[in-house]
Amino acid sequence: MASTTPIDTPPASPVARERARPKTGRAGDKIFLGLSRGSGILLLVIMASIAVFLTYRAALAVSKDEGNFLTTFDWNPAGDPPVFGIAVLLFGTIVSSIIAMAIAVPVAVGIALFISHYAPRKLAAPLAYVVDLLAAVPSIVYGIWGALFLVPYLEGLNLWLDQFFGWTYLFEKTEVGVARSLFTVGILLAIMILPIVTSVSREVFLQVPKMNEEAALALGATRWEVIRLSVLPFGRSGVISASMLGLGRALGETMAVATVLSPSFVISGHLLNPGGGTFAQNIAAKFDEADAFGRDALIASGLVLFILTLLVNGAARLIIARRKEYSGANA
């Protein structure tokens, strides 16, 4: 009589075991499922209602605009006929945000790496607390500090940039005046988004598997090689996400920009000249004095900012999901 031996079956995954578990129909599970599903649906409803409201009010204004809404270099919805456009606002918003990101992201990543991998424990904890505390400072406080301290002291930097880098056209100062420019706004926004990018990047770097770092050190890698080969690749998606969070604040910052910037509806490639404008700053400056039609025009510019923010976040998601090793799909 032939003997039969049992065939070893691989252990089931946690997901398979969970699916195979008999349904008990506990009330807590049903309540949690309903709350989580309702929260997701509520978020979609809120986003859709905002989009519908902005689109409706924007359509009312754009239909009566005698200028080209996308290319007009003027903002006069109270005129006869009304003429307004977003060209200057779009330019100022994008340029100031790019300046802020170019300054803040490298500095924030460096601070995050120092706190997570270089600083002693007694120094890392207080330093991380101070960086996180910067995120709690109100925008108007940053604006007052920028107007009273940053603007006067940046005049010397502007003259230095004009003297040594004026040949680049970007840093050529052709107008005499205080440093109330898009360059100053970019520096202020960089300081404001620095704690956001730093905090998220730091937490991602702390999640790097210690086995990877110890293996690299055992093979003779230096501290910088460990960071370059293990820490930065692992935390790349987190840094991108942190940068997008910071960019979202830079795009929509209102009071600080309105306090520092000297707006004018002129597009200039000279970043050190006073002037320019952003969507949020223009809305804050003109909302109180605008009539019903003027507010519809401001809402139209707000719709463009809303779409711009959605496009930026969507692009970030595509960048992260483009490669599986960035998105954690292979984890």
Whether this prediction's pTM lies above 0.85 is answered by no
Nearest Cα residue to 228 out of 329, 316, 113: 113
Whose structure tokens read 């501290």? 223
Contact 329, 311 (CB under 8 A): no
CA distance 299 to 283: 8
Average of pLDDT values for 76-101? 89
The whole-number pLDDT of residue 194 equals 92
pLDDT of residue 188: 93
pLDDT of residue 158: 86
If you ran DSSP here, which 8-state letter would residue 148 be given?
Answer: I
Q: How far apart are the first and last CA of the chain?
A: 48
Q: Is 60 exposed, middle or buried (0-12, 13-18, 19+ CB in 10 A)?
A: middle
Closest among 286, 261, 282 to 273, alpha carbons compared: 261
- Structure tokens belonging to residue 51: 């989009």
pLDDT band at 330 (very low <50, low <70, confident <90, very high): very low
Distance, CA of 227 to CA of 236 (rounded, Å): 12
Q: Are 299 and 57 in contact (CB under 8 A)?
A: yes
Q: What is the mean pLDDT of the chain?
A: 84
Long-range own/partner contacts, residues 281-286 (CB < 8 A, 24 or more apart): 281/92, 281/254, 281/257, 282/75, 282/89, 283/254, 284/254, 284/255, 284/258, 285/258, 286/75
User: What does the block give as tokens for 249?
Assistant: 């604040």
Nearest residue to 154 (alpha-carbon basis) of 192, 176, 181 = 181
* 194: Cα separation from own chain's centroid: 10
In this prediction, residue 8 carries a pLDDT of 52
pLDDT digits (tens, 9 = 90+) for 126-182: 888 888 888 888 888 999 999 888 888 888 888 888 888 888 888 888 777 777 888
pLDDT attached to residue 81 = 86
Q: Look at residue 180 in the predicted model and tell me its pLDDT.
A: 84
Amino acid (one-letter) located at 243: S
pLDDT: is 18 or 299 the higher one? 299
- The 10 Å Cβ neighbour count of residue 53 is 12
The CATH number of the structural domain formed by 67-327 is 1.10.3720.10
Task: Quote the percentage of the chain above a pLDDT of 90.
Answer: 23
Two structure tokens written together for 104: 């803040």
Domain ranges of the chain: 67-327
For residue 13, pLDDT over 70 is answered with no
Length of the chain: 331
Please state the rounded mean pLDDT for residues 206-217. Answer: 84
Burial 275-314 (b: 16+ CB within 10 A, else e): bbbbbbbbbbbbeeebeebbbbbbbbbbbbbbebbeeeee
pLDDT tens-digit readout, 183-200: 999 999 999 999 999 998
Task: Measure the CA–CA gap between 238 and 83, rounded to whole angstroms.
Answer: 43
The pLDDT of residue 14 is 57
φ, ψ of residue 84 to 5 degrees: the values are: -160, 150
Residue 40 has pLDDT above 80, yes or no: yes
Q: Alpha-carbon distance 87 to 298, whole Å? A: 14
Q: Residue 323 corresponds to which tokens in the numbers above?
A: 């490669």
303-314 average pLDDT score: 88
Instruction: Please give the structure tokens belonging to residue 124.
Output: 């890392």
255 vs 323, which has greater pLDDT?
A: 255
In angstroms and rounded to an integer, the radius of gyration of the C-alpha atoms of the chain is 26
Tokens of 283: 């809305």
- pLDDT 10s digits, 225-275: 888 888 888 888 888 888 988 898 888 888 888 888 877 778 888 888 887
Find where tokens 């230096």 sit.
222
Residue 56 pLDDT exceeds 70: yes
Residue 328: is its pLDDT beyond 50? Answer: no
